[in-house]
Amino acid sequence: MLMGIKEIEEILPHRHPFLLVDCIEELEPGVRAVGYKCVAFNEPQFQGHFPHNPVMPGVLIIEALAQVGSVAMLSVEGYKGKTGYFGGINNCKFKQMVRPGDKLRLECEIIKQKGPVGIGKATATVDGKLAASAELTFMIG
């Protein structure tokens, strides 16, 4: 493991319950990052989504992917201490449900960057099967 929660919190401003990345396993600053989220049954979203059929909301999967992408972008020397914001979400697709007990692998590769704006190709998988994919636009501020 390259980064745990404490190291991630040094880069991202997110805190519990909205920090959705447990660890970063691979990191190439400004290029790509791979992280994991261990989905637990006691997370607050499962009280209402859905009590008898808990499913991780797609928007939280995309947010977790964006957080991993932000770690990749904000690890670049010139962006340390800044914040990554969403600029857009394109070609978002959900392929399978993510449930408590799943270990969500989150990967984001920065495929384009111009100044403080970058585009990341992001994928979330469970046991090697695609759960979600999207093209995410980041703005560093």
What is the spatial distance between Cα 100 and Cα 38, in angstroms, rounded to a whole number?
8
DSSP codes joined into one string, 63-78: HHHHHHHHHHHHTSGG
| Inter-residue contact 69 to 120 (CB < 8 Å) | yes
Strand pairing class (103-114; 23-28): unpaired
52 a catalytic residue = no
The stretches of the chain forming alpha helices (DSSP H) are 5-11, 58-74
**What are phi and psi for residue 98, nearest 5 degrees?**
-110, 130
Which are the catalytic amino acids?
49
